[in-house]
Amino acid sequence: MKLPNKTLERKLLNQGYQYVIGIDEVGMGCLAGPVVVCATLFTKDFFDKKHKNLRWLRDSKLLLPSQREKFANELIGNKELRFSIAYAKPATIDRINIYQAARKAMVLSLKKIGVDLKKTMVLVDGNTTIKGVLANQLAIVKGDRRIFSIAAASIIAKVTRDKMMTHYSKKYPNYGFEKHKGYGTKLHQTMLIKNGPCEIHRKSFAPVSKLL
């Protein structure tokens, strides 16, 4: 398996960029819960070192939950990483659509990370850059599988969102959120039909809207 690497980040920093930020989102296709964005910013020194405990880090979708937790803890505990989390609630998703909600959260996460974006290159997972951001950007298709800082962002975002959904499962116990995390699994759709939508369901998404 080809793992994400740090080559692009090193190249950009050597070209004179003061900061390189990786950004990714999770929860786009869910029927319930927020879309969560993480932006990661590693120091230049980080990319000059080897990190044995992060060697097998890869896109969050390719990891088991226990592996994601391990890598997330390792990343968050590293003093050479600055990261920020932002999210858009289901009500926002219903009001402006999932794509615009995710982009809004991306803009917020970049503001929260607190650096001069004019001296920054932002690496965005996907094929489109983020409007309204005063930074140089590169949109990278399958960036979460190719670029280390984006893969790291995907892991922190996923672990953060999973914890949010587990928390929601206590408030809304009839849907199994702690198991499927809001994705449209067979269990989720069965519970949705049985109980009807709750406050955190995305009412603009077809499997939910047809029950209203």
Burial of 57: CB neighbours in 10 Å, binned 0-12, 13-18, 19+: buried
pTM: 0.96
- pLDDT on residue 211: 87
Element (H, E) at 136: strand 136-140
Tokens of 177: 């959120």
Which of the four pLDDT bands, split at 50, 70 and 90, describes residue 53? very high
- The partner residues of 7 in beta bridges, in order of sequence, read none
User: How do residues 161-204 score in pLDDT, each as one tens digit?
Assistant: 999 999 999 999 999 999 999 999 999 999 999 999 999 999 99
CA angle 185, 187, 191 (to 5 degrees): 120
Domains of the chain: 7-171 (3.30.420.10)
CA distance 180 to 164: 12
Tokens of 147: 């670029």
Helix (H, G, I), strand (E, B) or coil at 150: helix
CA 187 → CA 166, 175, 194, distances in Å? 16, 8, 11
Q: Identify whether the C-beta of residue 139 lies closer than 8 Å to the C-beta of residue 129.
A: yes
Tokens of 157: 């975002």
Which of the four pLDDT bands, split at 50, 70 and 90, describes residue 2? confident
CA angle 138, 93, 184 (to 5 degrees): 95
CA distance 98 to 184: 15
Instruction: Give the contacts of 49 (CB within 8 A, at least 6 positions apart).
Output: none
Q: Using alpha carbons only, how large is the chain's radius of gyration in Å?
A: 18
Which of the four pLDDT bands, split at 50, 70 and 90, describes residue 134? confident
